[in-house]
Chain A
Amino acid sequence: MPKNICLIYKLLSIILYIYTVLAKKHKLSLSEEELVLALQRHDKIGAEALYDMYSASLYGVIHRIVIDEATAEDVLQEVFVKIWHSAASYNTNKGRLFTWIVNIARNLAIDKIRSKDFKNQFKNQELENNVGYIDKHNSTEYKPELMGVRELVDKLRPEQKSILDLVYFKGYTHTEAADELGMPLGTIKTRLRMAIQQLRKHFN
């Protein structure tokens, strides 16, 4: 009989362990309305949901811009602090929440790579080689609805892709991009629009 009890006890502890592991994996998710309200009230749940819902997307963008992992983590932290403190200034007139926060993330990341410290630290790293490096680290999560996005992005006509990446990941303004590529401003805008329309077509 004591043998049996011992066995049951072992079984129980294994189940408890699995449960705690699962509980850790459980991610919070709120509707956008609830999330904004929780952020503005500085509810703890708002911080957790914000992190669980958007950290991977934001980190992907930041990582792609700054490349270095430790720096990317620092930037991600700064982004969350900034969102946390300026949540009150966000309102739905400004569009979707993600647009607002991803622009905070991009701005902080781009500020970072343009800062003197960062340039000194990574002088000998070629930014041009970065895309391939990130892509290797990027394919961890399987998202059926997003399958083929990379292929799509690769299929974008090179001039569209390069403009979208210049603006989105390198922080060029469209004026700077026009200078860089030697194109009229109107063409840059049109191509940006066409690139994004390709994305829309794909996701719809």
Chain B
Amino acid sequence: MEEIRAYIESGVLELYVLGDMSAEEKLQVEAMAQKHPAIQAELSEIEIAMEMYADAQSVEPSPQLRDRVLNSLLTNLGDDRNLRTIQPRATAGERVVAMHPPATTSIFYKYAFAASVLLLCVSGLALSIMYKRLQNSEQQLVSLRLNEQKFTRQVSFLNEEIGVFRDPSFRFIQLKGMPKTPSSALTVAWSAKRKKVMVDLSSANLPAPGKDHQYQLWAIANGKPVDLGVFDKTTADSTDMKLMKSIDAAQAFAVTIEPRGGSVNPTTDQMVVLASL
């Protein structure tokens, strides 16, 4: 035992690991290590320490070097002389360790990767289809909302129109055509109490005023004409009853054709309809 300890402490094992001895000395150390497990263990520890020392100071060579080195090995491999002379000596007694394909995990990752790429494609496609549908629905929603607004407006307007007929304070005045335009007619609804005047465009039958002219409604109050505003028959909007300026007292209503925008005083020879109360 003492002998082994002295052998270990002599430093010869370190020299062996550092390669600092002759071939015979090496064989001696190897023989000693085979014989004494304690020496073998000490030797391994020294080797591991030196291996880690080298690892700690490792320097990554340039990436191109890998191909260069491997090519030089594998080219030589193609050489028949090299290939044949060096053969592993797997004799009957020797244990042959099966090579596990080291890439089993990486194959798993390959498949996992392929699967996830596929999944990504499918979900991307699904996403784009869903997005398309969402856009369609949103468009439909917008047009529905517009329709709804239109209907609400129409309903409230119709309510107002009906209100005119329900309200007993309204009078319906039929304006008759003048000698120049005998077939013309217009209905005006007037409530003195509410100071409201409306013309019924749906029943209006008036001569075309021309592009630069408009109809203007007048009331005659205390012998003087009062402007009640201008209107068009050709308006695109569906307002069949048009609210005019308010007035609480009138003896007559008349419509003249005036230049667009209206006049301060009625052009009497352009009067198309008239009604006295």
Contact = CB atoms under 8 A, between A and B. Distances in A.
Interface in A1-35: 1, 4-5, 7-8, 11-12, 15, 19, 26, 28-30, 33-34
Contacts of B20: 167, 173-174
A98 interface: yes
Interface string A85-129: 101100001111011001100110000000000000000000000
B60 A94 contact: no
Interface in A33-55: 33-34, 37-38, 40-45, 47-49, 51-52, 55
B17 A99 contact: yes
B102 A34 contact: yes
B83 A42 contact: yes
Contacts of A134: 59
Contacts of B61: 55-56, 59, 72-73, 76
Interface residues of B, number: 65
B248 to A, nearest CB: 66
Contact of B128 (A4, A19, A56): A4
5 contacts: A19-B113, A95-B47, A96-B44, A146-B55, A150-B56
Interface of B: 9-12, 14-20, 30, 33-34, 43-62, 65-66, 68-70, 72-74, 76-77, 82-83, 86-89, 96-97, 99-100, 102, 106, 113, 117, 120-121, 124-125, 128, 131-132
Given A8-B128, A196-B49, 12 more contacts: A12-B117, A33-B97, A57-B58, A81-B76, A87-B86, A96-B44, A103-B18, A137-B59, A138-B57, A143-B55, A173-B20, A196-B17
Interface of A: 1, 4-5, 7-8, 11-12, 15, 19, 26, 28-30, 33-34, 37-38, 40-45, 47-49, 51-52, 55-61, 63-64, 72-73, 76-77, 80-81, 84-85, 87-88, 93-96, 98-99, 102-103, 106-107, 134, 137-138, 140-141, 143, 146, 149-150, 153, 167-168, 173-174, 189-190, 192-193, 196, 199-200, 203
